[in-house]
Amino acid sequence: VPDRDRAELKRRKLLLEMTLKSYWIRKGSAFSTAVARPETELTPEMIATGSWRQLPFKPYNFSSLGLPPACGHLHPLLKVRSELRQIFLEMG
């Protein structure tokens, strides 16, 4: 469509320009149908046989914080000591 006609059709809102993108997806050199799970632990058997050299290992995340401890409890003697302290504080 010539530019002049295209501008006229746009002005009259009879033309809508759209950009379409398409992608070609092909199998690469590392394509595999099997899912390989990386190893997470190094065992003594792997070290003894030397098989750890050929195995893929999961990378470590050193910046993760980990899980906080669930809860904690006071030692029974500390509970008694805090109760006695509170009694003496109330007595003056």
Q: What rounded mean pLDDT belongs to the chain? A: 91
8 A C-beta contact, residue 56 and residue 34: no
SS in 3 state form for the chain? Answer: CCHHHHHHHHHCCCCCCCCCCCCCCCCCCCCCCCCCCCECCCCHHHHHHCHHHCCCECCCCCCCCCCCCCCCCCCHHHHHHHHHHHHHHHHC
| Residue 69 confidence (pLDDT) above 90 | no
The whole-number pLDDT of residue 30 equals 82
pTM of the predicted model over 0.85? no
Q: Which two tokens stand for residue 85?
A: 């302290």
Q: Which two tokens stand for residue 28?
A: 């690469």
Model pLDDT for residues 23-38, shown as the tens digit of each residue: 999 999 888 888 888 9
Taking residues 14-30, report their average pLDDT. Answer: 91
- Euclidean distance between CA atoms 47 and 58, whole angstroms: 17
**Max alpha carbon distance in the chain (Å)?**
99
Taking residues 69-75, report their average pLDDT. Answer: 85
- Per-residue confidence at 46, pLDDT binned at 50, 70, 90? very high
The whole-number pLDDT of residue 72 equals 83
